[in-house]
Amino acid sequence: MVLAHRRGAAGALMLALFLSTPAFTQQASDTVAPEIASGVEEKELVSASKQMVVAANPLAAQAGLDVLRQGGSAADALVAVQTVLGLVEPQSSGLGGGAFLVWYDAQTGEITTFDGRETAPMAASDDLFLEDGEPMAFFDAVIGGRSVGTPGVVRLMEAVHQRYGKHEWADLFESAIELAEAGFEVSPRLHTQIADDRGKLDQEPAARAYFYDESGEPIAAGTILKNPDYAATLRTIAQEGADAFYTGDIAQKIVEAVRNHPTNPGLLSLEDLASYEVKQRPAVCVPYRGLDVCGMGPPSSGALTIGQILGMVSHFNLAALGPDDPESWRIIGEATRLAFADRDMYMADSDFVSMPQGLLNASYLEERAALIRRTTALPAEEVKAGTPPWDKAEFRLPGIAPELPSTSHFVIVDEEGNIASMTTSIESGFGSRQMAAGFLLNNQLTDFAFSPQNGGEAVANRVEPGKRPRSSMSPTIILKEGKPVFALGSPGGSNIIPYVANAIIALVDWKMDMQQAVSLPHLSNRFGTYDLEAGTPAEELADDLQALGFETRVTELNSGLHGVAITPDGLQGGADPRREGVAVGD
């Protein structure tokens, strides 16, 4: 096999990380507005016998576990986790954003999904991000009201609670309200991100007043930070339900912030908020090595693209190659490139765009896998969208939509065996930088393609009134013979897809435990250049991959993978060492 003579050095280093979970330090990334960990610490696999929460902040994880200990369901704990995350990790998710949830119902054995993705205002048109016919500079579009879509996470929380909750709605907000009123300790990670966003976040008056001290410096790590406006908002929602968010005073404050921005006003209206609906959709499930990998369909591209990757690599013996062989990463990287070509061409909100029904067709994926049966990297001109079975699909052309590595993911398993795997986001770190009623507003509309046409043809992911922008969020639950065995997901922009796909391969093919899988060094090839995670043994594969014909780049790849394995002996949770998340359980 090509480069077999080089396996030793790189492989030994890679396996050193797989077999343990050493600490390494993340430095600030040069990518656009990343969420950067100030550092990481070694984390060990956490075991529990009956219930577990894995979330991106210890306070949020504990709030969810407290609800479970009081007899609550995963749906109840979901509300507590999300509302605390919106306070202590506001740069990533919150009431002003949206979410996708994959839910396993232990009573029926069914998987379903809830789409709480933001929607474009009804007044929006496909030239929303054009100026003089040209796409806007990214942050010119992001900062202010133009990028704000109708938030969906509050309606999602209510919809899931109404169907699966056991506790009183109002009781689920207590932890977040108490923390907002008494204050919480600013983490080093939050401080670092506030500092890194100087020049953007501090230009918005409400955000500057909250996130910076009186001298204009980023609020220091260890500071006790209170948010009485957020507490008041939560009290109103707790007492009056989600309607209080989508109508009345809270809605008015949101719309005023969006429409009255002095330099970049948006189009969101009271009518957009009042008419917002969460959509329950069938899960997208794909077979892989005798398992069913289930995730979120459009408007997320996550499950479809992961399904394509897994469908292609299933034709290769990754288990025999192992994680230390460059050939494994050649196969995975090529499958990812081909899947991303289809993603950019075809995938968008299926309520607006008819997509090929055969994107996951086994014969089609076998044809795509045949392209990978070679010994060197595919030339760029050969990595293009395929022609899957159509079934009345509309032909569209690809359009580039930046997706930034913000967001958060959590997994909850309750005592009855219900599972919530939820990815939640305001898009980039600190979203639009606009605050209203104590929380940040999203910039999810910049997940649309800025240019609505490509060569005179319509782009699938263009802006349309009421449409949901394409996402890469990939909350996942994996079943074996109808019973759940894994639940996982990650933040990370479009890198979410390779993060989650690679973790699944690590769990299934390479038999890693959950902590080893989420600690795996990242290698990601979406668009031709192979990104290798800085500060990890992934760097040592650069020479191998270059010899195979890939361009490589060593860069920060800051995931936030969280997952739970459901085993005959109980639950095993893993939290990404790159962030401050934890797994807790009983």
> Cα–Cα distance between 227 and 206 in angstroms, integer?
12
The pLDDT of residue 35 is: 31
Check residue 5 and give its pLDDT: 27
Backbone phi and psi for residue 57, each to the nearest 5 degrees, phi listed first: -145, 135
Type of residue at 231: A
**Is 413 inside a domain boundary?**
yes
pLDDT in tens, 142-194: 999 999 999 999 999 999 999 999 999 999 999 999 999 999 999 999 999 99
The residues that bridge with 412 in the sheet, in sequence order, are 53, 420
Domain membership of residue 388 (yes or no) is no
Preceding peptide of 228 cis, ω within 30°: no
**How many structural domains does the chain have?**
1
- Does 305 reside within a domain? no
Q: What is the pLDDT of residue 97?
A: 98
> Which CATH number belongs to the domain containing residue 270 in this structure?
3.60.20.40
| Structural domain includes residue 91 | yes
- Sign of the CA dihedral with 94 first, then 32, 521, and 185 last: negative
For residue 355, what pLDDT is reported?
A: 82
Which residues sit opposite 184 in a β-bridge?
Answer: 225
Q: Amino acid identity of 448?
A: F
Query: Alpha-carbon distance 583 to 446, whole Å?
Result: 32
Distance, in Å, from the CA atom of 397 to the CA atom of 399, rounded to the nearest integer, reads: 7
CA distance 545 to 566: 35
What's the pLDDT at 334? 98
Cβ contacts of residue 232 below 8 Å, gap of 6+? 437, 438
SS3 257: helix
DSSP codes, 399-458: ------S--EEEEEE-TT--EEEEEEE-SSTTTTS-EETTEEPP-GGGGS-SSSEETTEE
- What tokens does 73 get? 């369901």
pLDDT at 14: 52
- Map tokens 């040069």 to a residue: 30
Q: How far apart are CA 541 and CA 55, in angstroms?
A: 31
Three-state DSSP state, 341: helix
pTM of the model: 0.93
b/e sequence 110-144, b meaning 16+ C-beta within 10 Å: ebbbbbbbbbbbeebebebbbeeeebbebbebbbb
Coil vs helix vs strand at 531: strand
Report whether 304 contacts 496 (CB < 8 A).
no
- Helix%, strand%, coil% for the chain, nearest 5: 35, 20, 45
Tell the burial category of 279 from Cβ atoms under 10 Å away from its Cβ (0-12, 13-18, 19+). Answer: middle
Q: What residues pair up with 563 in beta bridges, in sequence order?
A: 488, 574
Determine how many CB atoms are found less than 10 A away from the CB of residue 362.
12
Domain assignment of residue 230, yes or no: yes
The token duo for 51 is 């219930």
| 215, HSE (Cβ side, Cα atoms, 13 Å) | 4
Residue ranges at the known binding site: 117, 447, 471-472, 493
**For residue 136, what are the domain limits?**
4-23+33-183+226-281+406-585
Residue partners of 209: CB distance under 8 A and separation at least 6? none
* CA dist., res. 495 & res. 341, Å (int): 14
Residue 417 falls within a domain, yes or no? yes
Nearby residues of 356 by Cβ (< 8 Å), 6 or more positions away: 346, 388, 389, 390, 391, 393
pLDDT of residue 308: 98
User: Angle at CA 376, nearest 5°, toward 371 and 378?
Assistant: 45
Within-domain flag for 307: no
Residue ranges at the known binding site for L-glutamate: 117, 447, 471-472, 493
Active site residue ranges:
407
In a domain, 416, yes or no: yes
| CA gap 310, 506 in Å, rounded | 12
Distance CA(270)–CA(253), nearest Å, equals: 10
Give residue-wise pLDDT tens across range 256-284: 999 999 999 999 999 999 999 999 999 99
User: For position 460, what pLDDT does the model report?
Assistant: 87
Q: Contact at 8 Å (CB) between 475 and 421? A: yes
Low-confidence ranges of the chain (pLDDT < 70): 1-41, 390-405
